[in-house]
Chains A and B, each alone.
Chain A
């Protein structure tokens, strides 16, 4: 709680003053909200006829839920493939060989710097030239590949920092029992680092889930695309987008809470510290320290 650092618990005078500021602040915020509503109403956007279609079974059964399913499929696949990518290149960055370290480092830095959308568009246009993907699956594959490369790079960093954050004694003990450095890494350090980063992976799911919406740009029929389609059919795009946004917000609000529960559960199984926060809040992360 950063707030409590800055001020004492208020006394009687401060509390009286606070009441007034509260009233003013509430009025200002409510005023902005009311102004937005008036603006919407003047354009007739609050009309029940525009919101009604979103409450019908048709909207959910044929548009929003299938869209949400596609969103979850892409996110679910991506988190698995990105995890594998992250493990491989995270290990690469910890390798004893300098060449492997450099190559892995280069790959990770490259994919962290390139916008995900650029990668998705590239794969969407490039894969048909190779003729390796069924055209039906093309948008999904392009979305998953784009998300895998970026988030895999983030996971690779997580693996590396997870291993660095383990107490020194873990490796020393492993070496003392006669394991080689590679064995110590594979058998002792990385498993603990991975457990410690589980919650962070869950948090990264929020980023992945949000980025699946980029798929709408390359014709992947996820939630945003479904909402748009439904909206343009019923002349209520604004309302459909609001509903889609609410679905995203609810899911993304729940995920970090699950991550925290997870962090509490696995905390005892690793010498590292299980962290619930994502490696970086924004869509990228250079080391924040």
Chain B
């Protein structure tokens, strides 16, 4: 118990988790926006938009996140000199958010599309039968049901994003996995305890997200 309190006193554990939560928060918002646009492109009647959306998803989903984040830092910043913030450390933070965003946008797109797949064909047929066009039937009939069907898969993406925010360490962002490394190197006598602190921290964040999204997806499920 003394070890535990001294760990929290010596190291800013909560601060490190706060960095992960911030990474998750911003990447989640941006990925939701981009992912929704991609999903609309992939379900639209226009072949070129569908092709562009499919290509994006295929490319980004099959690239390891680590490669993307290393690319953001070494490629975009190191080679192309793109900076997202004047502050040196903040710059790495936003580059990591960029990497997390473009990667998870592909998964958000797929989650929303799986939501569209839960809508029975009859709904779309009925919408067309009363004279609604693509835009109107999507806005009034399909998407409201699709979003409700997509809550659970979107929750999965959010959980994955929360855990993947640790990969930002590959982009020189100081967060939980890098702090854990520092702590173990400083306090080799309590290695397992240090790991458990961080592991339990993630369990405490991830499990409630899962419970809440499961509950919401049940409550909002379209009764059929």
Contacts and interface: CB of A to CB of B under 8 A. Distances in A.
Interface in A265-289: 280-289
B203 to A, nearest CB: 4
B71 interface: yes
A192 to B, nearest CB: 26
Q: Is the interface of A mostly helix, strand, loop or mixed?
A: helix
A213 to B, nearest CB: 4
B140 interface: no
Contacts of B74: 228, 231, 237-238, 241
A122 B45 contact: no
B28 interface: no
Interface stretch (A5-13, A132-140, A156-164, A168-176): A5-13
A118 B164 contact: no
Give the size category of B's interface with A: 35 or more
Interface string A16-56: 00100110011001000000000110010100000000000
A22 B48 CA distance: 6
Interface string B161-200: 1011011011000001100110011001001100100110
Contacts, number: 207
Nearest to A71: B64
A228 to B, nearest CB: 7
A91 interface: no
A110 B52 contact: no
B199 A252 contact: no
Interface of A: 2-3, 5-8, 10, 14, 18, 21-22, 25-26, 29, 39-40, 43, 45, 109-110, 113-118, 121-122, 125-126, 129, 206, 209-214, 216-217, 224, 228, 231, 237-238, 241-242, 244-245, 248-249, 252-253, 280-289
* Top 9 A-B pairs, shortest CB-CB distance: A282-B160, A213-B64, A252-B62, A213-B66, A115-B163, A210-B64, A238-B75, A113-B206, A286-B210
